[in-house]
């Protein structure tokens, strides 16, 4: 089976602002077709928004925005009541959805799957792993695959390299992702408690979650922890970051911690990731790990 991590979604209080941050620092771009009048009309039909005489959709400014790094499509979702902000879910593209469902039935019958509405630009189905971490499922060629996911892959200097989940039983989750999606395990040191599963481009890191790790800080539960980016040069990235935050300190500056001591606890956990060289938060407070290696 061919399976690839092709989607990451953030739930945000200000989706356009958050998208702009990632566009500026990491070169994410929106689909060319999404900016045309024809795409506006299609959006109005799919979601029921009124279409103005200018052929533009009347919709809230704080609406979902989708961009991509040439491989992974990133959705910045408008936060809904009752939904927590943060890294919400990820998405996997497979070449055979039926085989995935067959493997669920054979080895993981407790794992559920639901059909998604046809207006979703990537997700044909939504599912979860045995610990409840959410992911979307898609297959090339389906009618709902559009936007950045319908464009040809492209190479760029800054792109998503890894995605980390803090899990109660990372070993069991690793078996699930290998059994169902055939991700490959990367080599690691014997004393390393993490599991590194790759699709050849993006690595899914499964790391142990223990409540004791948050002593001295507000606790965080298991779940998606951070997104890791590869950049061409750390010095160049830091310069871009300094310029961006100085030009627009109100909107582009990372969210400041409430207490430095608590922030240090969480930052130590983040900095333990073997792929990261520089850790920071985005304007919403989501953690990012950056490396040029």
pLDDT of 33 > 60? The answer is no
- Is 202 within 8 Å of 5 (Cβ atoms)? yes
Among all chains, which residue has been given the structure tokens 């009309």? 41
- All structural domains of the chain, each given as residue ranges with its CATH number in brackets, are 159-291 (3.10.180.10)
pTM of the complete model beyond 0.85: yes
CA 124 to chain centre: 17
Contact 1, 181 (CB under 8 A): yes
Q: What is d(CA 279, CA 221) in angstroms, rounded to the nearest whole number?
A: 20
Token pair listed for 104: 């669920």
Q: What percent of the chain has pLDDT over 70?
A: 97
Give 174-214 pLDDT, tens digit per residue.
999 999 999 999 999 999 999 999 999 999 999 999 999 98
Q: What is the CA radius of gyration of the chain?
A: 19
Range 34-39 average pLDDT: 63
Q: Is residue 277's pLDDT more than 60?
A: yes
Tell me the per-residue pLDDT of 101-127, one tens digit each, with 9 for 90 and over. Answer: 999 999 999 999 999 988 788 889 999
C-alpha separations of 102 from 139, 178, 179 in Å: 15, 15, 11
């Amino acid at each position: 089976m061919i399976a690839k991590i092709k989607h990451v979604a953030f739930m945000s209080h200000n989706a356009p602002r958050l998208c702009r941050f990632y566009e500026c620092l990491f070169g994410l771009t929106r689909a060319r077709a999404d900016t045309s009048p024809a795409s506006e009309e299609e959006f109005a039909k799919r979601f029921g928004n009124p279409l103005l005489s200018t052929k533009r959709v009347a919709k809230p400014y704080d609406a979902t925005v989708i961009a991509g790094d040439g491989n992974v499509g990133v959705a910045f979702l408008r936060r809904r009541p009752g939904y927590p902000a943060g890294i919400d879910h990820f998405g996997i593209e497979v070449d055979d959805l039926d085989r995935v469902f067959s493997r669920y039935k054979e080895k993981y019958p407790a794992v559920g799957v639901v059909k998604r509405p046809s207006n979703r630009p990537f997700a044909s189905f939504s599912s979860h792993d045995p610990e409840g971490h959410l992911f979307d499922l898609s297959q090339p060629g389906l009618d709902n695959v559009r936007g950045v996911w319908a464009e040809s892959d492209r190479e760029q200097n800054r792109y998503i390299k890894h995605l980390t989940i803090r899990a109660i039983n990372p070993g069991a989750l690793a078996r699930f992702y290998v059994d169902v999606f055939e991700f490959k395990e990367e080599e690691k040191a014997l004393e390393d408690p993490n599991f590194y599963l790759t699709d050849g481009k993006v690595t899914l890191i499964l790391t142990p979650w223990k409540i004791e790790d948050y002593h001295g800080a507000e606790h965080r539960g298991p779940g998606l922890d951070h997104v890791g980016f590869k950049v061409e040069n750390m010095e160049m990235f830091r310069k871009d970051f300094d310029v961006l935050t100085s030009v627009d300190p109100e909107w582009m500056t990372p969210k400041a911690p409430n207490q430095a001591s608590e922030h240090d606890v969480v930052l130590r956990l983040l900095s333990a990731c073997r792929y990261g060289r520089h850790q920071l938060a985005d304007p919403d407070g989501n953690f990012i790990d950056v490396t040029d290696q």
